[in-house]
Structure 1
Amino acid sequence: MIQVDQALSIITQNSCKLPIRKIKVAKSLGFILAEAIYSPMDMPPFRQSAMDGYAFAFSELQQFNVVSTSQAGDFSNKKIKKGDAIRIFTGAYVPDNLDTVVMQEHTTVANQTVEIVKMPQQFANVRDKGEQIKENELVLEKNTVITAAAIGFLACLGITEITVYAKPKVVIVVTGNELVKAGKKISEGKIYESNSIMLESALQGIGIKKVETFRVKDNLKATKRILKSCLAAFDVVLVSGGISVGDYDFVKEALLSNGVEELFYKINQKPGKPLFFGKKDKTIVFALPGNPASTLTSFYIYVHPALKKNMGFEAIHLPKIKRKITTQFVNTSGKTLFLKGWCDDEKVTVLESQSSAMLNTFAGANALIYLPHDVVNIEKDQEVMVIPLN
C-alpha cells in the first residue's frame, strides 16, 4: 500500500500526451493546441468604421456635403474631396483619404448636408488595418485551451483547421451481479447502478463526451473477455467495482491475466483504498472501488489528472486552496482523508454522511477537504487544504 503522493507521481510518470491530429475549428472546443498559430492576414484587413455615422477628412469645417454611402461589404476607394463626407456604417470600408468618423448621434442632417454638432478628435472611430492583429503575428500559443472566443477569433481570420492533441478514447466497465440499470424494475437484493452515469458526467466535465460503457457480471471468464477487448480498443479503461479482496472480486486477476502491468494497488487513503492502476502498452487502466463516493473521489484525485495529461493540458491537477475549518476534527485512521465539504471565501465545513457508499452529501458538496495521513488533530479555525470541485 502506498501514500497518495506516491500514487500521483506514478500516474503522472505513466500518462502522456496523445498523438496530434488536425480537426475542424468548428469542432475544436475544449481541445489543446499542439502547434502555435500565426495570422494569415491583417485583421481588420482594411480601415473600418467603428460606428454608424459620417466619414470625413478632419479639418476646421463643421458642415459637409454627403456624396455617397459605404455599407459593410461595400468597397470604393474613390477620392473624396475636401468638404465632402460619406454616410458610413459599422464595419464598412473607410476610403484612404478620410481619417475620422463622427457618430450619427452627434450630427444633424438636412438636404444631403451633415453638420457636426459635437466634433470628435481626429482619427476617432476608425479601426486601422491590422489593429487587432497583423499578418504573421502570433494568434494562439501552443498548449492553449480552445474556447468559444478562440474559435471565433480563428474563424474571423479564415482559419478552418488546427492541430490539436487527440482526446482519449475512454471506456467504463461496470461489474456487479447486484446492479440494475436505472428505469428498470428492481427486485430484492438488487440496487440501481449509478457509477457509470456519474463517471460519464465527470468525463463530460473535462470535455470527453464520447464514452463507451459495458456491464459485466461477477464472473472471472466474462470479466477477462470484456477487459481483453477494451484493452485493445481504448486509451483509458475505467473499471468500477470488483477490485477488493472478496470471493467475487475478479477484476485484478482478469487485468493481470490480460497482460496489464500493475503499477500500484491500494492507497493509504479513505475513501478509495482498493484502487488499482496499471498499464498495457499505451493503454492505462484504473480499477476503481465500487462504492460511489470512493469512485467519484478517486476520479477527481487520480483519473482526472491522467486524462488532462492525455489531452495536452499543462496544469493537470485540480487546484488546491486553503480555508479555515469550522469544527475540530480528529483523524485517528492513519490514512489520508478526502472529506466532502462546503467552502466559501474564508471557511470550509465538513459535511455529514462521509461513508464511501453515500452520495447524498457529495451531491451538495463543492469541495474535498484534504487531510494528510500524518496529521491527527485539526483545531477549529485551523487552515486546511481544500480541493474545489466547481
Structure 2
Amino acid sequence: MSIMTSIEEAIQLVKKHSRPLSKSTYKPVEKAGGYKLFENIYAPINMPPFRQSAMDGYALHLNDSLTYHFVGEVKAGDAHQPVLKQGEAVRIFTGAPVPDTANAVIMQEKVIVNGNTISIQNKVGVNANIRPLGEQVKKGELALAKNTKLTPAAIGYLSSLGISEVEVFKKPSIALITTGNELVEAGTDLVYGKIYESNSRMLLSALYSLKFYDVNIHKVEDDYDKTLSKLDTVIDENDLVIITGGISVGDYDFVGKALSALGVAEHFYKVKQKPGKPLFFGTKKNTVVFALPGNPAAALTCFYVYVYIALQKMMGHEAVELPRVEARSVSRFKKFGDRPQFLKAVWNNGDVEILEGQSSAMQQTFAISNALVFMREDLLNIEIGDTVEVILLPV
C-alpha cells in the first residue's frame, strides 16, 4: 500500500513546483486589474502637470494687507493664464491651474467679498493650498515598479498619467479535461446509466470568478490511447492542466498511466484527506498538472486547497493560500477514520455552521457553502461552541 502524502506536505510541494510565469502580454489599462507589472513604468508627464488648486477659493498674489482686488476666475480645465499684480486675486476652483503670478490659495470660507474687493481673515503663507507641479511624480521618475499588483487605485493612477496600455505578466493558459463514458452534456436527454457532466462548468466558473479567462474545456473517453493523445496535446499547449476523474486505479482509469507514459514528474499522488484522497500533482517542463477526483465536491475542495495556490504562485503573488480564520461552531460533527477532513460549511461573522451531506459527491451542500471547516487528523468530534479552523472561500 502506497504511503499517502500529508496535507501540509502536499501544500508545500505545490508551492515549490508552481513558479511565476515569465511570459508577458499587453493589456488595456482598464482591463489590467489583478495583473502584475512586467516592467517598471516611468511617468510620461508631471503629475499634476501644472500648479493646481487644492480647494475652492481665491488665488492670491500676496501683499502685506488683508485686502485684494478681484480680477477674474479660473475654473478646472481652463487654459488661460491671468497675470496678477501684487494685491490682486482670482476666483479659483479645486483642480484648476493656479496662475504663475499667484503664490497662494485661500479657501472661500475665509474670504469676505465686497464687489471687486475681497478681504481675508488671516494672512496665508507662500504656496498655501497649491499642489506643486509634479507633486505626485515628476516626468521620468519611477511611477510603479515591476511586480506591482494592479489594484483599482493603481489603475486610476496610471490612467491619470495618460497611460492606456501596460505590459503585465501573462496569466496562465488553462486546459480543463473531463473523463468518463458516463458523462453527457446538460441539455441532452439523460438515458439510463448516464449522468450530466458538471465538473467542467463548476471549475470553469471557479476560474472565471478568480479572473482566469484563458480556459479551454476538453472531454476524453475512457480509452487509454485517446487519453494519452489528448493529454500529450494539452500539456504541450498550456501552462496549467486540470483533469477530473480517471485518476483512481480502476480498470477504466487511464489518467495516471498516461501521465506516467508522457513523462510527467509526479510530486505526489494520494493525499491523506477527506474528500479528495486520489489527488495527483505533477509537472512537465513548465506545465503544472493536477488530476482531481471525479466526484464534484472532492474536485472543488481540491481546487480551493491546492489548485488555487498554484494559480497564485504562477501569477507571482505572495499571498497564495485562501484566508483561514478561527470561528465558533454552531454545529456538532463526528469524524470517522483518521484522515483530516474538509467540511462544507457556512461562515457568518465569527460563527460557522457545518452542513449536512458531507459526501464527496454531494454538490447540493457545497452549493450553499462559503467556507470549509478543517478538521485535523487528531480531532474526532466537534461540539457546539468549539473553536474551529475555517477556510474562507472566494464566493
Q: Give the TM-score, by structure 2 length.
A: 0.89
> Are 1:280 and 2:284 counterparts?
yes
Q: Deviations over 1:213-248 (max 9, x none)?
A: 011222222211211110110111101111122222
Cα distance in 1 between the residues matched to 2:69 and 2:367: 67
Residue of structure 2 aligned with 1:54, choices 58, 64, 78: 58
| 1:7-156 aligned within 5 A | 7-26=10-29, 27-59=31-63, 60-67=65-72, 69=74, 71-76=76-81, 79-102=83-106, 113=116, 115-116=118-119, 121-122=124-125, 123-135=127-139, 138-156=142-160
Cα distance in 2 between the residues matched to 1:116 and 1:363: 67
Q: Deviations over 1:123-174 (max 9, x none)?
A: 5542222332345655334432212221121122234454432211100011
Question: Which stretch of structure 1 is more off in the superposition, 263-272 or 369-378?
Answer: 369-378
Paired residues of 2:172 and 2:214 also in contact (CA < 8 A): no
Paired residues of 2:27 and 2:168 also in contact (CA < 8 A): no
Paired residues of 1:174 and 1:214 also in contact (CA < 8 A): yes
Paired residues of 1:65 and 1:83 also in contact (CA < 8 A): no
Cα distance in 2 between the residues matched to 1:129 and 1:347: 52
| 1:123-272 aligned within 5 A | 123-135=127-139, 138-272=142-276
Paired residues of 1:143 and 1:314 also in contact (CA < 8 A): no
2:7 alignment counterpart: 4
Paired residues of 2:175 and 2:242 also in contact (CA < 8 A): yes
Paired residues of 1:25 and 1:159 also in contact (CA < 8 A): no
Shift of residue 108, structure 1, vs aligned partner: 7.2
Paired residues of 2:74 and 2:96 also in contact (CA < 8 A): no
Shift of residue 272, structure 1, vs aligned partner: 0.7
Cα distance in 2 between the residues matched to 1:374 and 1:318: 23
| 1:338-377 aligned within 5 A | 338-377=342-381
Paired residues of 2:329 and 2:351 also in contact (CA < 8 A): yes
Paired residues of 2:66 and 2:122 also in contact (CA < 8 A): no
SS of alignment partner, residue 297 of structure 1: helix
Cα distance in 2 between the residues matched to 1:337 and 1:96: 69
SS of alignment partner, residue 313 of structure 2: helix
Shift of residue 378, structure 1, vs aligned partner: 3.5
Question: Which stretch of structure 1 is more off in the superposition, 58-67 or 14-23?
Answer: 58-67
CA 178–73 in structure 1, closer or farther in 2 if over 3 Å, else same: farther
Paired residues of 2:106 and 2:124 also in contact (CA < 8 A): no
SS of alignment partner, residue 363 of structure 2: coil
Aligned residue pairs total 388
Cα distance in 2 between the residues matched to 1:118 and 1:202: 61
Paired residues of 1:102 and 1:116 also in contact (CA < 8 A): no
CA 70–386 in structure 1, closer or farther in 2 if over 3 Å, else same: closer
Pairwise CA RMSD: 2.6
Question: Which stretch of structure 1 is more off in the superposition, 264-273 or 31-40?
Answer: 31-40
Output the amino acid matched with 1:6. E
User: Quick one: percent identity of the two aligned structures?
Assistant: 46
Shift of residue 66, structure 1, vs aligned partner: 1.5
Q: Deviations over 1:56-100 (max 9, x none)?
A: 224433452324645515152x54112322243432221223133
Question: Which stretch of structure 1 is more off in the superposition, 27-36 or 328-337?
Answer: 27-36
Cα distance in 2 between the residues matched to 1:7 and 1:70: 61
Cα distance in 2 between the residues matched to 1:23 and 1:114: 55
Shift of residue 268, structure 1, vs aligned partner: 0.9
CA 114–354 in structure 1, closer or farther in 2 if over 3 Å, else same: farther
Q: Give the TM-score, by structure 1 length.
A: 0.90
Paired residues of 2:62 and 2:87 also in contact (CA < 8 A): no
Output the amino acid matched with 1:344. N
Cα distance in 2 between the residues matched to 1:103 and 1:210: 52
Cα distance in 2 between the residues matched to 1:197 and 1:359: 13
* Structure 1 segments unaligned to the other structure (5+ residues): none
CA 288–116 in structure 1, closer or farther in 2 if over 3 Å, else same: farther
Paired residues of 1:33 and 1:165 also in contact (CA < 8 A): yes
* Structure 2 segments unaligned to the other structure (5+ residues): none
